[in-house]
Chain A
Amino acid sequence: MSGGRHDPIRISFTLNGETTTVEVAPTERLLDLLRYRLGLTGTKEGCAEGECGACTIYLDGLPVDSCLIPAYQVRGRVVETIESLDPEGMAHYHARGTTQCGACTPGVVMTAEWILRHPDRLETHTVRELMAGNLCRCTGYDGIIEGIEGALEDREAE
């Protein structure tokens, strides 16, 4: 351990609306920092290679796979996890069978909520296409897509 290459890095970032300061190892993944050191276990590991989307969080407002982000890279940036979402907004999904085993669910919900916040994307893509970055082994995806479409309809009606 010489030359500082492995020395911890001190970073500050905004996590779910609050400034957070931690020391991270250069190779530490954002996913592990969130789960094992900051207690935010809602974000799940499914594949650790950016295929399944179970670890989806928002980085500066964009959905990304936290398993692929070195923790030090979030210095000065804004991170939001599933824990930041309003539980009241889950009723559409609950009613339509969006979750079964729940392991992919937080990632699915993060992407789904992002679609709801960016309805302009639906002018060029379908919900089914936009959800293709989140693997689910239980639902066959219909329960997920119906949950999002239901939420969209309910919002239009409001």
Chain B
Amino acid sequence: MLRREGLSKLTGRERYVDDLPLQNFLWGATVRSPAARGRISEIVFGDGVNWSEFVIVDHTDIPGRNAVYLMEYDQPALAPGYVRHVHEPVLLLAHPSREVARRAVREVEVIVDVDPPALDFRTLPSADLIQYGEDNVLKRLSIQKGDVERALAESPIVVDGVYETGAQEHVYLETQGMLAYLDDDVLVIKGSMQCPYYVLKALKTALNRSDEEIRVIQTPTGGGFGGKEEFPSMVALHAGLLALKSRVPVKLIYDRTEDMVATTKRHPSRVWHRTGVDENGRLIAQEIEVVMDGGAYVTLTPVVLSRAIIHAAGPYHCDNVRILGRAMFTNSVPYGAFRGFGNPQAHFAVERHMDVIADRLRMDPVELRRINMIRDGQTTATGQVIADGVDRLGIVDRALALADYERRRREHWIRNSEHRYLRRGIGLATFYHGAGFTGSGEVMLDSRLQVEGLPDGRVQVLCASTEMGQGQITIFTQLAADRLGYDPVDVSIAEPDTHRVPDSGPTVGSRTAMVVGRLVERACDDLRRKVGLEESVPGALVKDAIIAWHSAHPGQRLLGKARYEPPPGIAWDEEHYRGDAYGAFGWAAHVAEVEVDLRTYDVRVLDFVSVQDVGTVLNETLARGQVQGGVAQGISWALLEECVWNDGAMENGQLTNYIIPTSGDLPPIRVEFMEFPYKYGAQGAKGIGELPLVGAAPAVLNAVAAATGRQPTEIPLTPERLMALFGNGHAPGEAP
């Protein structure tokens, strides 16, 4: 089936929040902190502006608790006198002219009595920098398996490494934006978001309103990648506060620079590995420490750290594992959800480290992975028994075959010895990603979904899952149509509207097709039962039965319902981080081929092969697009995307100097699926959205290592960083 809203997007008819027709409204704008930390001593309104034309909101206008509530209450909606990061929101302005509003922002001077900011998450803070708990640690987590100390002591070979990753900005092409207005007493919020019920939760807390008094509606969303998971709650709150005060509609749309400098990003990380291996390359012990920069507020950091440590040992079996995780408070912009959610950082480290180990052992990195790849019946670091029947070695072999790995490697040896300054290399990464919420997370979400039988026999899916480009509308249409035996045109997907659809959980964590999609199927089954039909009754009869039901029940609604039920046999011990972390894992292998120019230290990716097990592939075109887009984001995280910081402020908040790849910067990304269906996912599907990003960066850097004989350990691997490896290079694990 083709993307359902595809033609509407291709012809420019799709209406995003900034495209909605609107009369007599105000443009909102945000005044932000100029300093990373300190007390606001004064706010000076400049002389050149007629301030009486403006609606101005500060923290005293917040009727409820001054918090952007999701996990914790620590992040204020508007700074109440003290700021903890540059660009933290302080005041809101609204004016009929967008240009006047934006100019006015620059005429407000927020004067801050500066306190010393904590800006380096890698070092433990001195006393004057402590702002969270006793030590600025936002969250500590650990995993223990076997006896790491003894196993390391007994290992004939021990290999250390330290791996670092930088912040990454989402750069969804549609910036953050919300529209707020009052419909009688109901505050209506429309805008770009992944999670309508997260927005509702934050609004209820800060505005002191009930579910009935707030209505959140998702508009078509131009990309999210996690950047529209928690941050839209902030934008919605701001638009809502302005609309409540002004009593007219308010539109708040970020321009690109505001979006880049002020919103969440991928957590920077530093991961340390100490690995014991025998002479044949078998893993004996893995000791790992994962440290992340959490930024100035908690947001989703504890959960990001959790996913990082659960995956930190890689897709390998090892009897002795200790993983310590720590997320640090710093006075930088809060880091938040980004596709992969901690796992890309974890896998960058472990997959780069596997090649460093292979290099130390003078062993083929492919062979090292083959020996240690987890097999059915073996356990992960949390003790989860893997028994999903996935041919993990087959996935690796297929990726190597598609990339023509062996032949390329031989060609590179010859070519590299002959060419003056070009070096080619090929690299492999093998990896995995747990789909859905971690541990008992899905049970806590308690997701619900409805399929309504309409009077004319058509059906409508009612859920809070959102379309942001990944294909949810198309996939849910397919699933309902297949389940009921319907023509897809007789299936519609309701607009996500908290006054109309049940809470089917957030659209995050690679859970939508697998977990919520399964609810679509079960709600279809319930609908069929309610009209008295067995399974496997043809669609035409279902349609007739729905029409007949409505004749017999005039004016009533016919709702098939489903509520999340965990698959049997899943057990997770949250306190000790033991057990079944995820219902299902997707498994994959990437092979990258690169060329390094030793004159410029430029790295060019020549070829990229991705073989993925995402369970049943529900829609080949959409699935391939997810993999190619995820790989592209991973390649550019590895090579191009660098946030430049100056006293806690992002300096390069423009697409001119924060570089994302053009079509000319990327090779064709060759994708193949190997399908190992998951019994409890919709039609056998597992998660797909995040997996492809996870292994892209280490595959590219492993190829660079093969090409150059150097071992890069930091991304983004800019030409400057690569040059340093040739000049003042340092080995992994040594201080630079």
User: Does A95 reach chain B (CB closer than 8 Å)?
Assistant: yes
The complex places the Cα of A35 from the Cα of B6 at a distance, in Å, of 21
Q: Kindly report which residue of chain B lies nearest to residue A141, judged by CB atoms.
A: B663
Where chain B touches its partner, the secondary structure class is loop
Specify which chain A residues have a CB less than 8 angstroms from the CB of B7 in the assembled complex. 87, 90, 94
A152 within 8 A of B: no
A103 with B172: CB separation less than 8 A: yes
Contact for B624 among A39, A95, A97, CB less than 8 A: A97
Q: By the criterion CB–CB under 8 Å, are A135 and B655 in contact?
A: yes
**Complexed CA–CA distance, A52 and B656 (Å):** 9
CB proximity to A under 8 Å, residues B1-50: 2-3, 5-16, 18-19, 21
- Contact present for A83 and B632 (CB under 8 Å): no
Known contacts A83-B12, A101-B174: does B223 contact A132 (CB below 8 Å)? no
Q: Which residues of B contact A61 (CB under 8 A)?
A: none
User: Could you tell me which residues of chain B, from 201 to 260, have a CB within 8 Å of some CB in chain A?
Assistant: 220-225, 255-256
Cβ of B502 < 8 Å from any Cβ of A?
no
> With A94-B7, A102-B5, A137-B629 in contact, do A43 and B663 touch (Cβ < 8 Å)?
no
Residues on B with beta carbons closer than 8 Å to the beta carbon of A136: 173, 663
- Interface of A: prevailing SS: loop
Instruction: Kindly identify which residue among A99, A101, A134 contacts B10, using a CB–CB cutoff of 8 Å.
Output: A99
Instruction: Tell whether B628 is near chain A: CB-to-CB under 8 Å.
Output: yes
Whose C-beta in chain A lies nearest to the C-beta of B631?
A140
Q: Within 8 Å of chain A (Cβ to Cβ): is B654?
A: yes
Min Cβ gap A63→B in Å is: 15
> In the bound complex, do residue B12 and residue A128 qualify as a contact, i.e. CB atoms below 8 Å apart?
no
Complex Cα spacing A93 to B8, Å:
12
Does A142 contact B13, Cβ atoms closer than 8 Å? no
Q: For chain A, residues 10 to 44, give those with C-beta under 8 angstroms from any C-beta of chain B.
A: 27, 35, 39, 41-44
Q: Given the complex of chains A and B, what is the CA–CA distance between A105 and B9 in angstroms? A: 7
A143–B655 CB distance below 8 A:
no
In the assembled complex, the Cα of A41 lies from the Cα of B725 at a distance in Å of 49
The smallest C-beta distance from A70 to any residue of chain B, in angstroms, reads 14
B628 and A142 contact, CB distance less than 8 A: yes
Are B173 and A104 in contact, CB atoms less than 8 angstroms apart? Answer: yes
Number of A interface residues at 8 Å Cβ cutoff, please give it.
53
The contact of A101 among B21, B223, B255, by CB within 8 Å, is: B223
**A142 partner, pick from B664, B665, B669, beta carbons under 8 A:** B669
Q: Are B172 and A48 in contact (CB under 8 A)?
A: no
The distance from the CB of A30 to the nearest CB of chain B, in whole angstroms, is 15
Asked whether any CB of chain A lies closer than 8 Å to the CB of B705, the reply is: no
Contact with A along B620-641 (1 / 0, CB 8 A): 0110110011111100000000
- Give the chain B neighbours of A44 by CB distance below 8 A: 16, 173-174, 222
Assess whether B663 is in contact with A145, with CB atoms less than 8 Å apart.
Answer: yes
In the bound complex, CA of A109 to CA of B8 (Å): 12
In the assembled complex, B171 has its CB within 8 A of some CB on chain A: yes
Residues of B in contact (CB 8 Å), total 56
CB distance from A148 to the nearest CB of B (A): 10
Chain B residues with Cβ below 8 Å from A140 are 625, 628-632, 666, 669
Evaluate contact between B9 and A99: CB separation under 8 angstroms.
Answer: yes
**A144 interface residue, CB < 8 Å from B?**
yes
Query: Interface readout for A77-108 with B: 1 if CB under 8 Å, 0 if not?
Result: 00001110101001001111111111111100
Question: In whole Å, how far is B640's beta carbon from the nearest beta carbon of chain A?
Answer: 12
Does B660 lie at the interface of the complex (its beta carbon under 8 Å from any beta carbon of A)? yes
Instruction: Report the minimal beta-carbon distance from B2 to chain A, rounded to whole angstroms.
Output: 5
In angstroms, Cα B629 to Cα A100, docked, is 10
* Chain B residue at minimum C-beta to C-beta distance from A90: B10
Q: Is there a chain A Cβ closer than 8 Å to B275's Cβ?
A: no
Report Cα–Cα, A103/B293, bound state, in Å.
Answer: 30
CB pair A137 B172 closer than 8 Å:
yes
B711 CB–A CB distance under 8 Å:
no
- B residues near A85, Cβ cutoff 8 Å: 11
Cβ-closest chain B residue relative to A92: B10
B interface residue numbers (CB < 8 A to A): 2-3, 5-16, 18-19, 21, 99, 170-174, 220-225, 255-256, 468-471, 621-622, 624-625, 628-633, 654-656, 660, 662-666, 668-669
Known: A82-B11, A102-B14; 5 extra A-B contacts, CB below 8 A, are A93-B10, A94-B10, A95-B621, A141-B628, A141-B666
A residues adjacent to B (C-beta < 8 A): 27, 35, 39, 41-49, 51-52, 54, 81-83, 85, 87, 90, 93-106, 109, 128-129, 131-145
Would you list 14 pairs from A and B whose C-beta atoms are within 8 A, ordered by A residue? A46-B256, A47-B654, A83-B11, A85-B11, A95-B621, A96-B621, A97-B622, A97-B625, A100-B629, A105-B10, A128-B663, A131-B664, A137-B633, A142-B628
